[in-house]
Amino acid sequence: MSMGPRLRKLALTVHIAASVGWIGAVLAYIPLDLATRASEDPLTLRAAYVGMQLVAQWAIVPLACAAFATGLVVSLGTSWGLFRHYWVILSLALTAIALLVLLSETRTISTLATIAADPTTSDAELRALPSTLVHSIGGLVVLLIILALNVYKPRGLTRYGWRKQQEAQ
């Protein structure tokens, strides 16, 4: 299946917007996550945890889902194909893993926000809440690797891609 030039450009534009938006949303999340580690102020801690949940729920998760879905559409509808190049497979696999980890971590973020928003949670309990910083920074690194793969497009056809290339000649 191949898309016409206009539809291909539209799909690629939406994919790039969602992917870059995902990175941007993670970059907005990280300072909040850092605030939960650096601040001793209970109001800052409460606000940071609630803010993290809002950014994750309303920006990161929807953009991640959109990036994954549009990545599939772009790969299936263009000459790059889904299984023709190793970099496409690796990019898709890393995106799927990042999305699954994100969806799992979102439950933790929601729980932390609920605890932080509860006025009966003591200041000591707030300071003892765990951090999601390893996941947020790790996620950003994975997204930057995916970005590099999609920009540099390392050579290497799969057996399927090589066969399709031979059939086209």
pLDDT digits (tens, 9 = 90+) for 137-155: 999 999 999 999 999 999 8
Q: How far apart are CA 65 and CA 16, in angstroms?
A: 13
Helix axes 86-117, 42-55, angle to 10 degrees: 140
Q: How far apart are CA 24 and CA 63, in angstroms?
A: 10
Q: How confident is the model at residue 1 (pLDDT cuts 50, 70, 90)?
A: low
Tens of pLDDT, residues 99-121: 999 999 999 999 999 999 999 99
Name the least confident of 6-10, 17-21, 94-98: 6-10
Q: How far apart are CA 61 and CA 67, in angstroms?
A: 10
Mean pLDDT of 122-139: 96
Mean pLDDT of 91-102: 98
Asked whether the predicted pLDDT for residue 62 surpasses 80, the reply is yes
Q: How far apart are CA 3 and CA 70, in angstroms?
A: 13
Asked whether the predicted pLDDT for residue 130 surpasses 90, the reply is yes
Amino acid (1-letter code) at residue 133: L
Amino acid (1-letter code) at residue 9: K
pLDDT at 94: 98
How confident is the prediction for the chain on average, in pLDDT?
A: 95
